[in-house]
Each structure stands twice: as structure tokens, then as C-alpha cells.
């Protein structure tokens, strides 16, 4: 039964991924990316990773989608048709995929308790963490205690990203490239016509609430 | 579960390649970030798949029962970190896209290249 659910979810994920690539309307693509996240959250539940599943459902399907929609509101939601025939990318992708599949042939079968991954520190966490940490959820004990420094590093990364987003978006309108007598030139904001300024002004206002979603 | 063999890994590689293709073949910057997200999620699935034990349950202690098989918690912890970092990366990428759109008036890669000449 579990196998059936697993295979069905993986096939749905593949179909959704292909639909995202083929979709030219970015709004639809973002919505399907949300569906893709929820499907993967379902797969994580099947794989016993319940903590990962609810994080993926909240962060991947929720916050990510909101950020994407916020961006689409500013940049428009239609994608141009690619100009070149995608022969070279397809070749690169097929080659990489082939090499990766060749690599999996050496991997132990899925779900086997004898796999090497299950015989390093994992048994220690499963046997001792209830006495050592006293939290019934092993994932929580490892995240917050055994690998606490790792989690602190993660927080640092998020902080750096939040500062980066703030620095990028909180700045006023910068110089832009405009066509002057058939030549692309960089023009500072002050030199521009007033209606262009007015056109851009609400855009920077809208960026601010995006910040809150990130923390 | 064991009967599935390497099927999960192959689907993961397929998803990974779909994301990779979107990243290198599509010129739209938002589409590239969506492709990057597909790629990321496929890596998450790879890790979580490796942590699964056939007949196991989520690694939360069951009171009063002996001989419960728990799946491996370590990939779960690593991927929890990766999901949050992934969203931070996307947020940074998307704000760069907003900035690029402001400066060049487009988010299509080839049009940006024309503008830069």
C-alpha cells in the first residue's frame, strides 16, 4: 500500500514538474510550483519525515509561493517563447542524467535496514536521545541539541539573506538603461521624466511587506 | 518497500534534470528560480528517501511499546535546515529579479543582453 502511494506521488511530481517547464504563463507556473511542494510534502509523510513535511508545506508551498507572487506583481507574468532550439541544453541534461543514473547503480536498495546510512550515529540518537535530551521527538533533539551549531549557522544564513533582501529592495530607484538615439545608455533616476518616476514609485512600497514573510 | 529497488532514485534524477533544464534552457529569470526550486526539492526527496526504513515509523518515541522500528532522523534534520535556507536563497534571488526588472525593464535574459551592448 505504501509502495502504491509512493509511486503515485512520484509520478504526480514528475507530471507537475513537466507542466511547470512547458507553462508559458508564469502565474500558472508559480501555482503549479505550489502544487509540486504540497505533493512533495505528502511524499515526505509517506517517508516518515513528518517534521520535514510540515516545514515543506508551510515554507515551500506557503512562503515561497507568496514571495513568487509578490515578484510577479512587480515584473509581470508572461514568459517569452525561447528563441533558440533547446538542443544543447537537452543534450547536457540527458548526459548528466545518464551519469547520475549510472551512479545510482551502486546505491543500496531503498528501505533496506542494512544500508550504511543507518549504521553510523543514527542508532545512538535513536537509543540514547530520550535519556540524554529528554524530548520524545528525535528530530527535535538532533536539531536543537546534538547539531545545535548547525542550526545556529542556518539562522546566520537566514539573517544574511534577510539583510541582503533589505539592502536590495529598501534602496531608492537606481540608474536604468534607456534607449537614447538608438544607443543603450545608463541614466540616473533624477534625469528621467516625472511620469516614469511615478510609475516606479509604488513598486518599491510594495516590496516592504515581503520582508516579514522571510523571518 | 524493498521491492521498489532504485525507482525512487531514478524519479529523483528525472525531477533534478527537469529543474536543471529549466535553469539552463529558459531565459526568464523567474522561471529559472522556479527551476532551481524544483531541483532543490528533488535533492530533499533524495535525502529523505535514503532515511526511510521499510516498515519503520516516524522517529518520535512511542510510549510503552518495545521493538518499534524508527526511520533515520539525520536526513530529516539536514533537510529541515536545507528547506529554510532554500527559501532564503529564493527570496534573495527574487529581490535581485525585481531590481533587474527596474534597471532594464525586462526579465528576459536575451533582452537584457541586447540592452547591455
Mean per-residue pLDDT, B6-26: 91
CATH number of the domain residue B103 falls in: 1.10.287.3510
Say if B61 falls within a structural domain: no
The CA distance from B4 to A108, in Å, is 12
Record the cell numbers describing residue B5, joined without a space. 529497488
User: Which residues 6+ apart lie within 8 Å of A163 measured at CB?
Assistant: none
> What's the number of CA atoms in the CB half-sphere (13 Å) around residue A158?
18
Instruction: Please list every residue in chain B whose beta carbon sits closer than 8 Å to the beta carbon of residue A68.
Output: 30, 33-34, 90, 94
Residue B58 touches chain A, beta carbons under 8 Å: yes
Q: State the total domains in chain B.
A: 1
Q: How far apart are CA A121 and CA A132, in angstroms?
A: 14
Q: Do A161 and B91 touch (CB under 8 A)?
A: yes
pLDDT, average across residues A5-12: 92
CB contacts of A55 in chain B (<8 Å) are 80, 83-84
Name the most confidently modeled range: A63-67, A171-175, A199-203.
A63-67
A163 contacts chain B (CB < 8 A): no
Nearest CB among A20, A30, A52 relative to B48 is that of A52
Distance CA A44, CA B76 (A): 9
In the structure, what pLDDT confidence band is assigned to residue A200 with cuts at 50, 70 and 90? Answer: very low
Q: Does some domain include residue B60?
A: no
Residue B21 lies in a domain: yes
Q: What is the DSSP letter of A129?
A: H
pLDDT score at A190: 58
The cell numbers describing B91, all together, are 527570496
> Which one of A17, A81, A108 makes the best mutation probe of the B interface by having the most chain B beta carbons within 10 Å?
A17
- At residue A9 the predicted structure's pLDDT band, cuts being 50, 70 and 90, is very high
pLDDT digits (tens, 9 = 90+) for A145-168: 888 898 899 999 999 999 999 998
User: Residue for cell digits 501555482?
Assistant: A31
ipTM value of the model?
0.91
Q: Residue B90: inside a domain, yes or no? A: yes
d(CA A184, CA B115): 6
What are the start-end ranges of the H helices in chain B? 7-25, 29-51, 73-104, 109-116
> Are A36 and B38 in contact, with CB atoms under 8 Å apart?
yes
B97 domain residue, yes or no: yes
Name the residue range of residue B85's domain.
Answer: 2-53+69-116
Q: Is residue B64 part of a domain?
A: no
Q: Is B58 part of a structural domain of the chain? A: no
Average pLDDT over residues B91-112: 88
What are the φ/ψ torsions at residue A177 (nearest 5 degrees)? -90, 125
Kindly state whether A196 is in contact with chain B, defined as any CB-CB distance less than 8 angstroms.
no
Domain ranges of chain A: 1-81
Is residue B74 assigned to a domain? yes
In this model, does residue B116 exceed pLDDT 80?
no
Q: What is the topology classification, in CATH, of domain A1-81?
A: 1.20.120
CA dihedral B94, B100, B106, B108 (to 10 degrees): -70
The answer to whether the CB of B58 falls within 8 A of the CB of B70 is yes
All three cell numbers of B48: 529523505
Would you say residue A31 has pLDDT above 90? yes
Q: Looking at the partner chain, which of A3, A97, A168 has a beta carbon nearest the beta carbon of B1?
A: A3
Taking the mean position of all CA atoms in its chain, how far away is CA B53? Answer: 22
Average pLDDT value over all residues in chain A = 82
With an 8 Å Cβ cutoff, is B116 touching chain A?
A: yes
CA distance A146 to A140: 9
Closest chain B residue to A61, measured at CA: B87
Q: Which residue in chain B has the smallest CA separation from A208?
A: B95
Which range has the worst mean pLDDT, A83-92, A142-151, A189-198, B95-104?
Answer: A189-198
Residue-wise pLDDT for B30-89, tens only, equals 999 999 999 999 999 999 998 888 888 888 888 777 778 888 889 999 999 999 999 999
Amino acid at each position: 500500500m505504501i509502495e502504491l502511494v509512493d509511486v503515485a506521488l512520484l509520478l504526480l511530481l514528475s507530471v507537475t514538474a513537466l507542466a511547470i517547464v512547458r507553462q508559458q504563463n508564469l502565474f500558472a507556473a508559480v501555482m503549479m510550483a505550489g502544487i509540486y511542494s504540497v505533493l512533495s510534502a505528502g511524499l515526505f509523510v509517506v517517508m516518515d519525515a513528518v517534521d520535514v513535511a510540515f516545514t515543506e508545506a508551510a515554507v515551500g508551498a506557503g512562503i515561497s509561493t507568496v514571495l513568487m507572487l509578490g515578484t510577479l506583481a512587480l515584473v509581470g507574468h508572461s514568459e517569452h517563447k525561447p528563441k533558440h532550439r533547446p538542443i544543447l541544453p537537452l543534450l547536457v541534461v540527458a548526459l548528466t542524467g545518464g551519469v547520475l543514473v549510472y551512479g545510482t547503480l551502486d546505491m543500496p536498495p531503498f528501505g533496506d535496514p542494512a544500508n550504511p546510512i543507518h549504521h553510523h550515529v543514527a542508532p545512538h540518537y535513536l537509543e540514547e536521545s530520550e535519556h540524554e535530551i529528554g524530548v520524545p521527538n528525535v528530530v527535535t533533539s538532533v536539531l536543537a541539541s546534538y547539531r545545535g551549531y548547525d542550526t545556529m549557522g542556518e539562522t546566520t544564513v537566514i539573517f544574511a539573506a534577510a539583510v541582503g533582501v533589505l539592502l536590495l529592495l529598501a534602496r531608492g530607484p537606481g540608474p536604468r538603461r534607456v534607449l537614447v538615439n538608438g544607443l543603450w545608455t545608463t541614466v540616473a533616476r533624477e534625469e528621467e521624466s516625472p511620469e516614469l518616476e511615478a510609475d516606479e514609485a509604488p513598486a518599491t512600497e510594495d516590496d516592504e511587506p515581503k520582508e516579514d514573510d522571510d523571518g | 518497500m524493498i521491492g521498489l529497488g532504485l525507482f525512487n532514485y531514478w524519479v529523483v534524477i528525472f525531477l533534478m534534470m527537469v529543474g536543471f533544464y529549466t535553469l539552463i534552457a529558459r531565459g526568464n529569470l523567474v522561471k529559472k528560480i522556479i527551476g532551481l526550486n524544483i531541483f532543490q526539492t528533488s535533492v530533499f526527496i533524495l535525502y529523505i528517501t535514503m532515511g526511510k526504513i521499510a516498515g519503520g515509523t516516524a522517529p518520535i518515541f512511542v510510549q510503552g511499546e518495545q521493538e518499534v522500528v524508527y526511520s533515520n532522523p539525520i536526513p530529516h534534520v539536514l533537510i529541515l535546515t536545507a528547506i529554510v535556507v532554500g527559501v532564503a536563497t529564493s527570496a534573495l534571488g527574487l529581490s535581485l529579479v525585481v531590481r533587474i526588472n527596474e534597471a532594464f525593464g525586462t526579465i528576459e535574459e536575451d533582452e537584457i543582453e541586447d540592452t547591455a551592448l
